[in-house]
Copies of this chain bind each other. A is one copy, B any other.
Amino acid sequence: MNFGVCYYPEHWPEKRWESDALMMVEAGIEIVRIAEFAWAQIEPEAGRYQWSWLDRAINLLGKAGLRVMLGTPTAAPPIWLTRNHPDILRIDAGGQRRDHGTRRHYCPNSSTYHRHSQEIVSAMAQRYGTHPFVFGWQIDNEWGGGHTARCYCYNCVTAFQAWLKDRYGDIANLNDAWGTLFWSQSYMDWSQIHLPDQSIDKPNPSHILDFYRFSSDSYVAYQRLQIDLVRQYAPEHVVTTNFMGLYRDLDQFALATDLDFVTWDSYPTGNLDRWQKHLYLKQDELDASEHQFAYDVGDPYITGMAHALTYGLKGRPFWVMEQQAGAINWGSVNPGIRPGTTRLWTWHALAEGADTTVYFRWRSTLFAQEQYHSGLLQHDGSAGFGLADLALLRGEQQQLADIARQPNEADVALIFDFEDLWALEIQPHRSDYSYLKHLFVYYRACQRLGIQVDIIPKSGELNKYSLVLAPTLHIADEELAHTLKQYVIDGGHLLLGVRSGFKTANNLVTDQPFPGLLRLLIGATVRSWQSLPEQFGWDLSTNIAGLNGPATYWLEVLKPDSASVRALASYSSGPYSGQAALIENSLNNGKIYYHGWYPTDPQARAVIGHLVDKLGFSRIGDLPRGLIARKRGDAIILLNFTDVIQTANITGLPIKVPPRDVTVVNSLVSES
Contacts and interface: CB of A to CB of B under 8 A. Distances in A.
Interface stretch (A363-371, A467-475, A595-603): A363-371
Interface string A322-351: 000001010011111011000000000000
A181 interface: yes
Contacts of A147: 200
Contact of A575 (B103, B385, B432): B385
Nearest to A13: B511
A116 interface: no
Contacts of A380: 511-514
B104 A11 contact: no
Contact of A529 (B97, B332, B336): B336
Interface string A131-168: 00000000000000011100000000000000000000
A37 interface: yes
Contacts of A200: 90, 98, 102-105, 146-148
Given A102-B199, A188-B79, A380-B514, A372 B11 contact: no
Nearest to A519: B380
A407 interface: no
Q: How large is the interface on A (under 10, 10 to 19, 20 to 34, 35 or more residues)?
A: 35 or more
A187 interface: yes
A76 B181 CA distance: 11
A184 B39 contact: yes
B199 A327 contact: no
Most buried by B among A11, A38, A379, A529: A379
A376 to B, nearest CB: 13
A430 interface: yes
A369 B77 contact: no
Contact of A101 (B204, B333, B334, B369): B204
Contact of A430 (B192, B334, B427, B514): B334
A367 B100 contact: no
Contacts of A44: 186, 188
Contacts of A185: 40, 76, 79, 100-102, 368
A367 B182 contact: yes
A332 B101 CA distance: 37
B533 A427 contact: no
A333 B366 contact: no
A235 interface: no
Interface string A490-515: 00000000000000000011111110
B102 A10 contact: no
A6 B307 CA distance: 50
A201 interface: yes
A532 B101 contact: no
Nearest to A512: B380
Interface of A: 10-11, 37-41, 44-45, 73, 76-80, 83, 90, 94-105, 146-148, 178-188, 192, 194, 196-207, 295, 327, 329, 332-336, 338-339, 364-372, 378-380, 382, 384-385, 427, 429-432, 508-514, 527-536, 555, 574-575
Q: Top 8 nearest A-B pairs by Cβ distance?
A: A179-B367, A336-B530, A182-B368, A40-B184, A99-B198, A101-B199, A76-B184, A380-B513
Given A40-B180, A102-B183, A380-B514, 19 more contacts: A37-B182, A38-B184, A41-B181, A76-B183, A76-B184, A77-B184, A96-B198, A101-B203, A179-B365, A204-B369, A206-B367, A295-B532, A333-B531, A333-B534, A336-B532, A366-B509, A372-B429, A378-B528, A379-B511
22 contacts: A76-B183, A79-B192, A100-B194, A101-B199, A103-B183, A105-B200, A147-B200, A178-B368, A201-B369, A202-B369, A327-B530, A329-B429, A333-B533, A334-B531, A336-B530, A336-B531, A336-B555, A366-B508, A366-B511, A371-B427, A371-B508, A379-B510
